[in-house]
């Protein structure tokens, strides 16, 4: 049998083409099967069509570099002629196909269903809809396109000779046999002694009902209050809208976690390690029961072959050695080990890690397609465990040896020595990591609550990183530990018999014999170099890729293409705040005795002020500025200039003001948005094109203590920027925003280039997670660090009441 010859000119319908296996399959068909065409079922994105996703996510993948090189200028024309994207979704009935999609499906000779949610921790209902029901939906769509009633033409008849049913090849997983001991044959699950006969329809009903139940539970008032409190702990006073959005996201995440846990628990209760093989197994049963030849009514019968690969990893040879798309199961564990983050991992040294290169799976699928279907549904394993076993202990030795000779490097440029694993039990490692994650959770909460900022706040971000790594390691153990301890063996007798039908040239061109894999060569020379390349980790003692990010970010921020630069004031340009400036102004004309009394009162009020500021910045400003009631306007205007020179300038960040001037030099508009009062920021106005600040009411030459203009807080800052940009025909995508606090999160999210300056702990953590640029600007050297005026006390007002420092009516200082 000649694979390329038999399949020449055939039309394939492929689901899952944007995934790892699907991309490799499409490339191999186009490169090795003359005149074959592929119809690709692709789910449209929110803003992209199926055709756009096909171009961006499939054809532009480096998997096609070889074909692009071979075809040269003819690549686009050839692909345009042979590739037909159609919009659809295996999660929808009838695949969501339109008339053109149904017509193309009806014209296909082979249907390869490779779409799946391959995550081992997918929510149960998602795994059920895609993995369990997906194969049956594909079969139903095929049957419908060959059903005269489905053509909407009363005169239509179905002529099997003219339009034979396509061969449906459903890609499953070898792990549908579970992780029990012994050998699993290439046979339908109903005949497999490893698996339990679960009612797939009952599991579908349960999963759908569970999501509805969890959605209802997540909306209970007590639960909603928990989400709201968690959002406030994370974002502080970011604003009601952002807090509500974060609270809703936490609710969604809670529902998802419950569904993930439910899927894992249900799978383990029936003998599968997690929801992925569990739902794939039930998907096989549903497909065969509903559409298998010899098992269903004749009008629903389809020719079906099930292909079960084991753990699919990087390519052995095709389209090039080491080609991989995204990280598979083993890669996160390998990289964590190489970085010294995963000190040990459970497993049985004698156990088998059943790995198979992706190009062998593709070759097997094409061989099955060329061989054609059998009279009843049939099964092929594509696995290495029986034919050419890779022992877990051997894999660990190979990885340890390779990283011993090719170490990764830490942030200081020092080589990371990889640990020697002791193959502990899964339970012990899980308990250790669970204790570590609980401890890190407590430490993270404590550190995040500290009133620190700038480089000190980096401690919170580092603690969060360690917590994330511990949680991730625990997830790896919980998800993948069972696969390192499995002793199941997947026989490949039928696969080898299929290989025997091939001519020698085909066996070489479409190699899927696991015995041909040299594991030492594959791990050392093919797989690990590819893993390191895709992980973007530091592989030399020189400067890392990560080290260059700040310079790249600054170049982007200061590009002439930017339109607008927006600055917060407090702790962004000056190390001061509204309380500091009030204290300086209020104590400037006090005698020593009254100054001491004033300071004592302010210190007493400090905890309440801080709590109010964290709870609601707007309420804080309105309340605090009442302290200016009856203060003389002229006197404060004069004192504000003294405040600027003696208090604000020594506390300013020269790099910050240099950045403002640089934006102006580049022609960017500059805006200052602050909660400070207008007379306080008056000396800064020449630096900015526009200043937004607070303004007190005035009556008879004195301040009323009530705000005439409340500066925008939280989300209002984002709205202000949007209005300003629209009024001046500017794009916020080309805007830069500088701020220090999570209360400015809305403003930072509104622009294309957010910059966290000397961030407090909450914003430091957010900036680190989102990859935002961070600046650490220092005060001018030699300046005063005192909050109160220094030098001789001005006694010109010592004998009369200073309205700025006077207690409010009722004796409560405001």
Residue 371: what are its φ and ψ, rounded to 5°? -65, -35
Assess if residue 520 is contained within a domain.
yes
Write the CB contacts of 507 (distance below 8 Å, at least 6 apart in sequence): 499, 513
Which pLDDT belongs to residue 562? 93
What is the C-alpha separation between 568 and 573, in angstroms, rounded? Answer: 7
Q: Are residues 251 and 176 in the same domain?
A: no
What is the C-alpha separation between 593 and 155, in angstroms, rounded? Answer: 105
Assess if residue 784 is contained within a domain.
no
Residue 478 pLDDT > 70, yes or no? no
Mean pLDDT check: name the lowest of 111-120, 144-153, 277-286, 351-360. Answer: 144-153
Residue 668 pLDDT > 90, yes or no? yes
Q: Are residues 91 and 142 in the same domain?
A: yes
Residue recorded with tokens 């609601």: 616
Mean pLDDT check: name the lowest of 99-103, 230-234, 319-323, 371-375. Answer: 230-234
Average pLDDT over residues 616-621: 76
The domain that holds 8 is classified in CATH as 3.40.50.720
Between 188 and 537, the more confident residue is 188
The pair of structure tokens assigned to 215 is: 């959605």
User: How many Cα atoms are found within 13 Å in the side-chain-facing hemisphere of 231?
Assistant: 25
Assess if residue 69 is contained within a domain.
yes
Assess if residue 560 is contained within a domain.
yes
Taking alpha carbons only, the member of 543, 565, 576 closest to residue 732 is 565
Strand order in the sheet with 669-677: 702-709, 690-699, 669-677, 564-567, 735-739, 753-757, 773-775
Q: Are residues 134 and 235 in the same domain?
A: no
Residue 297 pLDDT > 90, yes or no? no
Taking the complete model, does pTM exceed 0.85, yes or no? no
Average pLDDT over residues 751-756: 94
Residue where a domain stops, chosen among 546, 571, 590: 546
Residue 212 pLDDT > 50, yes or no? yes
Mean pLDDT check: name the lowest of 27-31, 647-651, 667-671. Answer: 647-651
By DSSP bridging, strand 304-309 and strand 167-171 are parallel
Between 581 and 476, the more confident residue is 581
Average pLDDT over residues 66-94: 93
- The strand pairing partners of 159, in sequence order, are none
Split into its structural domains, the chain has a count of 4
Residue 601 pLDDT > 70, yes or no? yes
What is the C-alpha separation between 290 and 302, in angstroms, rounded? Answer: 9
Assess if residue 800 is contained within a domain.
no
Average pLDDT over residues 74-87: 94
Write the CB contacts of 567 (distance below 8 Å, at least 6 apart in sequence): 573, 656, 660, 670, 671, 672, 673, 688, 737, 738, 739
Residue 511 pLDDT > 60, yes or no? yes
Which pLDDT belongs to residue 800? 37
Q: DSSP letter string over 393-427?
A: HHHHHHHHHHHHHS--B-TTSPBPPPPPP----HH
Residue 345 pLDDT > 80, yes or no? no
Residue 786 pLDDT > 70, yes or no? no
For 269-317, what is the HEC assignment? HCCCCCHHHHHHHHHHHHHHHHHECCCCCHHHCECEEEEEECEEECCCC
Which pLDDT belongs to residue 154? 37
Q: Is the peptide bond before 579 cis (omega within 30 degrees of 0)?
A: no
Q: Are residues 264 and 168 in the same domain?
A: no
Residue 375 pLDDT > 60, yes or no? yes
What ranges make up the beta strands (E) of 341-487?
355-357, 378-382
Q: Are residues 191 and 229 in the same domain?
A: no
Sort 658 into a burial class: Cβ within 10 Å, 0-12 / 13-18 / 19+.
Answer: exposed
Which pLDDT belongs to residue 295? 54
Give me the domain span that covers residue 121: 1-198+273-310+354-386
Q: Are residues 410 and 375 in the same domain?
A: no
Average pLDDT over residues 299-322: 90
Which pLDDT belongs to residue 145? 87
Query: What is Dmax (Cα atoms) for the chain?
Result: 111
Sort 187 into a burial class: Cβ within 10 Å, 0-12 / 13-18 / 19+.
Answer: middle
Q: Are residues 154 and 232 in the same domain?
A: no
- Coil, strand or helix: which one is 380? strand
Q: Are residues 265 and 278 in the same domain?
A: no
Residue 713 pLDDT > 60, yes or no? yes
Residue 552 pLDDT > 80, yes or no? yes
Residue 36 pLDDT > 60, yes or no? yes
Which pLDDT belongs to residue 321? 95
What is the C-alpha separation between 365 and 703, in angstroms, rounded? Answer: 82
What is the C-alpha separation between 697 and 703, in angstroms, rounded? Answer: 6
Q: How far apart are the first and last CA of the chain?
A: 91
Average pLDDT over residues 129-138: 94
Residue 134 pLDDT > 90, yes or no? yes
Assess if residue 698 is contained within a domain.
yes
Residue 693: what are its φ and ψ, rounded to 5°? -150, 180
Stated length of the chain: 814
Residue 79 pLDDT > 80, yes or no? yes
Assess if residue 32 is contained within a domain.
yes
Residue 502 pLDDT > 80, yes or no? yes
Measured in whole angstroms, the distance separating CA 789 from the mean position of its chain's CA atoms is: 50
Residue recorded with tokens 């295996």: 90
Task: Give yes or no for a contact between 8 and 33, defined as CB atoms under 8 angstroms apart.
Answer: yes
Residue 796 pLDDT > 50, yes or no? no
Mean of pLDDT over the chain: 83
Q: Are residues 672 and 592 in the same domain?
A: yes
Q: Are residues 43 and 127 in the same domain?
A: yes
DSSP structural state of residue 98: -
What is the C-alpha separation between 14 and 619, in angstroms, rounded? Answer: 59
pLDDT class of 167 with cuts at 50, 70, 90: very high
Residue 177 pLDDT > 50, yes or no? yes
Q: DSSP letter string over 585-604?
A: HHHTT--HHHHHHHHHHHHH
Task: Give yes or no for a contact between 345 and 420, defined as CB atoms under 8 angstroms apart.
Answer: no
Which pLDDT belongs to residue 792? 40
pLDDT class of 510 with cuts at 50, 70, 90: very high
What is the C-alpha separation between 595 and 793, in angstroms, rounded? Answer: 10
Between 763 and 137, the more confident residue is 137
Task: Give yes or no for a contact between 622 and 709, defined as CB atoms under 8 angstroms apart.
Answer: no
pLDDT class of 157 with cuts at 50, 70, 90: very low
Other Cβ atoms within 10 Å of 212 Cβ, number: 10
Q: Are residues 46 and 194 in the same domain?
A: yes
Residue 273 pLDDT > 60, yes or no? yes
Which element (helix H / strand E) includes 478? helix 458-485
Q: Are residues 303 and 420 in the same domain?
A: no
Q: Quick: pLDDT tens for 678-698.
A: 999 999 999 999 999 999 999
Between 548 and 450, the more confident residue is 548
The domain that holds 768 is classified in CATH as 3.40.50.1000
Residue 472 pLDDT > 50, yes or no? yes
- Coil, strand or helix: which one is 673? strand
The torsion of the CA quartet 348, 352, 358, 363, rounded to 10 degrees, works out to -170
User: How many Cα atoms are found within 13 Å in the side-chain-facing hemisphere of 34?
Assistant: 5
- Angle, alpha carbons 420-421-423 (nearest 5°): 155
What is the C-alpha separation between 18 and 59, in angstroms, rounded? Answer: 9
Assess if residue 496 is contained within a domain.
no
The pair of structure tokens assigned to 256 is: 């998802």
């Amino acid at each position: 049998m000649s694979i390329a010859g038999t399949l020449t000119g055939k039309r394939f319908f492929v689901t899952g083409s944007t995934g790892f296996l699907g991309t490799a399959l499409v490339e191999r068909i186009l490169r090795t099967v003359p005149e074959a065409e592929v119809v690709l079922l692709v789910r449209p994105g929110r803003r992209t069509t199926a055709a756009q996703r096909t171009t961006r996510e499939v054809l532009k993948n480096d998997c096609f570099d070889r074909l692009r090189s071979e075809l040269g200028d003819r690549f686009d024309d050839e692909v345009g002629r042979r590739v037909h994207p159609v919009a659809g979704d295996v999660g929808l009935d009838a695949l969501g196909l339109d008339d053109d999609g149904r017509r193309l499906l009806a014209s296909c000779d082979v249907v390869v269903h490779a779409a799946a949610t391959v995550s081992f921790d997918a929510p149960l209902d998602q795994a059920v809809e895609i993995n369990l029901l997906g194969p049956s939906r594909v079969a139903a769509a095929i049957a419908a396109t060959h059903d005269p009633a489905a053509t909407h033409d009363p005169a239509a008849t179905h002529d099997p000779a003219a339009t034979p049913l396509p061969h449906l090849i459903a890609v499953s997983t070898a792990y549908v046999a579970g992780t029990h001991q012994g050998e699993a044959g290439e046979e339908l699950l109903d005949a497999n002694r490893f698996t339990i006969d679960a009612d797939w329809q009952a599991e579908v009903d349960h999963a759908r009902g569970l999501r509805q139940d969890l959605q209802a539970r997540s909306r209970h008032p007590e639960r909603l209050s928990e989400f709201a409190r968690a959002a406030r702990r994370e974002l502080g006073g970011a604003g009601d809208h952002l807090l509500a959005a974060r609270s809703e996201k936490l609710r969604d995440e809670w529902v998802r976690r419950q569904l993930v846990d439910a899927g894992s628990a249900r799978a383990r209760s029936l003998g599968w390690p997690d929801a992925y093989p569990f739902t794939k197994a039930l998907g096989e049963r549903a497909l065969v029961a509903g559409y298998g030849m010899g098992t269903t009514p004749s009008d629903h019968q389809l020719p079906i072959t099930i292909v079960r690969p084991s753990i699919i990893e990087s390519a052995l040879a095709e389209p090039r050695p080491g080609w991989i798309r995204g990280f598979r199961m083993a890669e996160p564990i390998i990289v964590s080990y190489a970085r010294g983050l995963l000190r040990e991992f459970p497993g049985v040294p004698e156990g088998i890690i059943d790995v198979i290169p992706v190009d062998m799976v593709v070759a097997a699928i094409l061989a099955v397609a060329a061989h054609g279907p059998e009279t009843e549904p049939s099964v092929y394993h594509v696995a290495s465990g029986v034919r050419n076993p890779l022992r877990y202990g051997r894999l660990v030795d190979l990885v340890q040896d390779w990283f011993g000779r090719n170490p990764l490097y830490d942030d200081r440029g020092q080589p990371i020595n990889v640990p020697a694993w002791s193959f502990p039990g899964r339970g012990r490692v899980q308990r250790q990591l669970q204790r570590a994650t609980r401890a890190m959770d407590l430490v993270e909460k404590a550190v995040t609550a500290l009133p620190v900022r700038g480089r000190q706040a980096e401690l919170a971000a580092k603690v969060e990183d360690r917590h994330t790594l511990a949680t991730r390691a625990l997830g790896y153990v919980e998800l993948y530990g069972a696969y390192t301890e499995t002793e199941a063996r997947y026989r490949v007798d039928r696969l080898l018999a299929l290989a025997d039908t091939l001519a020698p040239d085909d066996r070489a061109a479409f190699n899927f014999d696991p015995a041909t894999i040299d594991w030492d060569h594959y791990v050392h020379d093919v797989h690990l170099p590819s893993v390191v390349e895709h992980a973007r980790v530091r592989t030399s003692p020189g400067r890392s890729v990560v080290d260059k990010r700040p310079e790249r970010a600054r170049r982007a921020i200061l590009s002439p293409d930017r339109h607008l630069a927006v600055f917060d004031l407090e702790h962004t340009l000056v190390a001061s705040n509204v309380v500091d400036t009030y204290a300086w102004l209020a104590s400037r004309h006090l005698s020593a005795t009254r100054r001491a009394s004033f300071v004592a009162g302010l210190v007493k009020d400090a905890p309440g002020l801080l709590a109010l500021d964290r709870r609601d910045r707007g309420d804080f400003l309105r309340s605090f500025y009442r302290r200016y009631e009856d203060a003389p306007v002229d006197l404060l205007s004069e004192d504000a200039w003294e405040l600027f020179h003696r208090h604000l300038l020594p506390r300013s960040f020269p790099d910050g003001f240099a950045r403002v001037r640089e934006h102006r030099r580049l022609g960017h508009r500059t805006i200052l948005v602050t909660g400070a009062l207008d007379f306080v920021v008056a000396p800064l106005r020449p630096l900015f094109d526009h200043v937004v600040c607070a303004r007190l009411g005035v009556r008879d030459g004195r301040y009323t203590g009530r705000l005439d203009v409340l500066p925008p807080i939280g989300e209002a800052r984002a709205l202000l920027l949007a209005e300003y940009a629209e009024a001046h025909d500017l794009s916020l995508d080309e805007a830069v925003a500088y701020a220090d606090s999570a209360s400015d999160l809305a403003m930072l999210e509104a622009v294309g280039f957010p910059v966290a300056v000397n961030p407090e702990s909450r914003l430091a953590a957010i900036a680190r997670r989102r990859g935002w640029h961070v600046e650490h600007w220092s005060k001018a050297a030699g300046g005063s660090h005192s909050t109160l005026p220094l030098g001789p006390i001005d006694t010109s007002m010592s004998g009369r009441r200073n309205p700025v420092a006077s207690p409010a009516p009722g004796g409560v200082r405001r």
